[in-house]
Amino acid sequence: MHLSITSDATQVILQPQRPSDPKFLLIQVHLHIGHRESPPSHLQSLDLALHRHETLDFDARPEQNVFEPIVVTVDISNQRLTPGTTTSWPLVLEVPQLASPHQSCSGSRSTQYLLATAHYSTRFWKNRVLTARKDVFLIHQPLAPMCYSHVQAGAHDGIGPVLISARSQHLTIGSAIHVQAQLPAPADNFQLRSMDFLVSQHVVLRSRREKGAEQKLAPTQVVLQHVRTSQLPSAQGWLLRIPNCGLLRPSSIGDRAGIHVQHSFSVRFNYQMNHSDLSPLPSCSFSSSSSASSSSSHEHKHRTGQHQTYHSYTLTWNMHLPSCALRAESIMLPTYAEHDASPVPDFARDEIAHDTDRRLCMCGRPFDELAESETESESMLDHFNHRRSSSSSSSSSSSAGSHDEHYDEQRRHSINSLSHSLATKLASDAADLDATPAAATTLQLRAQPVGSTRKRGVATEESYERADPPITPFEEVRW
């Protein structure tokens, strides 16, 4: 006779930024009784609890924290036990959104597990206990979208302005990120030697017993790729992969975690400046962050009198890396397709759901698959931007065309009205001068109204012609 636990999820996704929204975990506790066993007639009690433990490895004194368990009591009244049967009890466990997530780094750990406990008595044995344990992983999910896009700019003497663009369709631990670098205006004597892409992890242990007590651990720096080149960076950039959860741990959300983890992304340019001056030049290193070391700058002289000074320039910015358990197919609705994009695996999820297996997270996905997904997303984004720019340009041109047509119509109406008023005025003046009918009919304004076929954007000129009448002596014509 033994107990077992199954649940609808082994990786429980929480949103600490929404503490009021409840998070429920569906659990089933199973009691298996063999055919040849003599079980008791009933159980005395059956409980299920979520236990949470935290170990903070301070240098002075390690700290052990045990949180109050979340207990659910099962109603087992009138439940008879018979040999050769399996009895199951469905339970609902509410997990607080502010619970500390699963974390493990530098000797400090935060773990969670489910524990089912059954008490019973037999004729010869009293207060017998059956237990079953199952590890669960509490994962914090940020409210912001998982897609990432960042542009970092900098400038310095020699290298000139620097522009770094980093973007990813789904940025987590173990995912892929596309990085582009631009050096639009370097100096004439500038020569790029190599580039380094790095991710740094900063861990702070915060005591839960002594207020304000904390310890900063030595930062961990991982080189994603080292590029050796003597040319300027290409426009295509590099597709890099974030290290797996064995090297980097997820970034923390909020300030309540005892193991607080933060990350930063850096791009380092190693270059040389060629000088033809024979005067000695100082050795120095330039960096936009404190991670650059001045020992990397030195001076080298040739017999020809040319000098090379070597420099290192680094651009660093903070980056939030969510957990690798937040796969796109686990937090987003699946796409419509003929085949299931995430089929049920042949192996049981409970057997591989532990902190050393990579088959249920982003770390276990092949890099070729990530690269294909990023390339497809990039092409879709470019197509969308192209269509949006085309639609905006067509709408602006159509609005400009309608505006020009309206302006032309108003202008034609004004000119025709002016022509009519001038002709009326001239006719009245001719009548006042007692002109002959022939002269009166000869004195007129021939107005040429603007045609309706004027091309948009081309300036046109309107002209008026007058038929000069035969002017007799002492005859006054007022124009």
CA distance 109 to 19: 23
Contact 190, 275 (CB under 8 A): no
What pLDDT was estimated at residue 339? Answer: 66
Under the banding of pLDDT at 50, 70 and 90, the label for residue 346 is: low
Full-model pTM: 0.70
Strands 11-14 and 70-73 turn out to be unpaired
CA distance 188 to 172: 40
Q: Structural domain tally of the chain?
A: 3
Cβ neighbourhood burial of 252 (10 Å; 0-12, 13-18, 19+): buried
Within this chain, do residues 195 and 328 fall inside the same structural domain, yes or no? yes
Strands 103-105 and 23-32 turn out to be unpaired
- If we measure between CA atoms, which residue out of 313, 353, 320 comes closest to residue 8? 353
- Scanning the structure block, which residue is given the tokens 């699963």? 102
What CATH number did the domain enclosing 20 receive?
Answer: 2.60.40.640
- If we measure between CA atoms, which residue out of 145, 117, 138, 172 comes closest to residue 23? 138
Within this chain, do residues 133 and 213 fall inside the same structural domain, yes or no? no
Q: Mean pLDDT score of the chain, rounded to an integer?
A: 77
Mean predicted confidence (pLDDT) in 160-176: 94
What CATH number did the domain enclosing 326 receive?
Answer: 2.60.40
Q: Which residues are CB-neighbours of 415 under 8 A, at least 6 positions away?
A: 447, 449, 450, 462
Q: Please state which of the ranges 23-27, 110-114, 397-401 shows the lowest mean pLDDT.
A: 397-401
**Amino acid occupying residue 38:** S
Mean predicted confidence (pLDDT) in 446-468: 36
First to last CA, the chain: 121
Higher pLDDT, 16 or 300: 16
Domain assignment present for residue 341? The answer is no
Within this chain, do residues 156 and 287 fall inside the same structural domain, yes or no? yes
Higher pLDDT, 224 or 396: 224
Within this chain, do residues 153 and 276 fall inside the same structural domain, yes or no? yes
Under the banding of pLDDT at 50, 70 and 90, the label for residue 414 is: low
Under the banding of pLDDT at 50, 70 and 90, the label for residue 25 is: very high
Say whether pLDDT at 433 is over 90: no
Within this chain, do residues 181 and 290 fall inside the same structural domain, yes or no? yes
Say whether pLDDT at 393 is over 70: no
What are the backbone dihedrals phi and psi of residue 406, each rounded to the nearest 5 degrees, phi first? -65, -40
Say whether pLDDT at 469 is over 70: no
Mean predicted confidence (pLDDT) in 4-18: 92
**pLDDT tens track for 281-338:** 444 434 444 343 333 444 444 445 678 899 999 999 999 999 999 987 766 655 666 6
Mean predicted confidence (pLDDT) in 152-163: 93
Which residue, 90, 117, 140, sits at the end of a domain?
Answer: 140
Q: Which domain holds residue 94?
A: 2-140
DSSP state string for 411-445:
HHHHHHHHHHHHHHHHHHHHHHTT--HHHHHHS-E
Say whether pLDDT at 476 is over 60: no
Under the banding of pLDDT at 50, 70 and 90, the label for residue 256 is: confident
Which residue, 112, 140, 168, sits at the end of a domain?
Answer: 140
Within this chain, do residues 65 and 154 fall inside the same structural domain, yes or no? no
Within this chain, do residues 446 and 325 fall inside the same structural domain, yes or no? no
Within this chain, do residues 132 and 279 fall inside the same structural domain, yes or no? no
Within this chain, do residues 306 and 193 fall inside the same structural domain, yes or no? yes
